[in-house]
Structure formats: structure tokens, C-alpha cells
Amino acid sequence: MKYALFGFGTVGVGVFEMTDRLPELHCEKVLVRTGKVKEAWQTDDVQAILADPSIEAVAEVMGGLHPAYEYLSAALKAGKHVVTANKQLVAEHGFELLQLAKS
């Protein structure tokens, strides 16, 4: 499965390195902050990830509410599976995100 990673701080790098060893998972793109793109597999354009039909899922490791909420909402609307451990986001918007996932 190809997935995208939203965030590339300490947690994001750890997820990237961990999943890099799993043949069934491939991180296709990593969303980084504007001006931080250093590799071809990095992007600062969330729309490029959402529009890519080969990317089936996104993992959000940015933290905080914004823009994490907007990005995950858009990913669900684009038909992507989403994974997050963002407790603040789930506490504040979990019900809304669940409704989007169901639709």
C-alpha cells in the first residue's frame, strides 16, 4: 500500500523509518512545511497528495488542530484512509472526522 505522511518532525521521521522496512507499505510522499522540501519524495503541496490516486492512505503526525483538521478532512473527502494519533484533534473533531469517514 502506498501512503503519504503529513509531517516530518521527530515522530514523522520515526514512522517513515519504521515503515520503510515493511515491504507491504511504501511512503510515496511526505508533506513538509513550505520551504523545507529537500528530497523528491517530499512536497509542501497537500493537494498533490490528495489528487494522487496511487496514494491510498495518509498518516498525520503534525500535531495540533490546524492545519491537521483541514488536511485530514480533505483526505477523507478525497477517499483516502487516514491514521492519526493526534489526541487533541480526535478530542475536538473526532465525531466530525468519523462522519466524513462513514460518508
Of 101, 83, 67, 97, nearest in space to 19 by CA = 83
pLDDT in tens, 2-34: 999 999 999 999 999 999 999 999 999 999 999
At residue 15, the pLDDT reads 97
pLDDT in tens, 47-78: 999 999 999 999 999 999 999 999 999 999 99
Q: How confident is the model at residue 102 (pLDDT cuts 50, 70, 90)?
A: very high
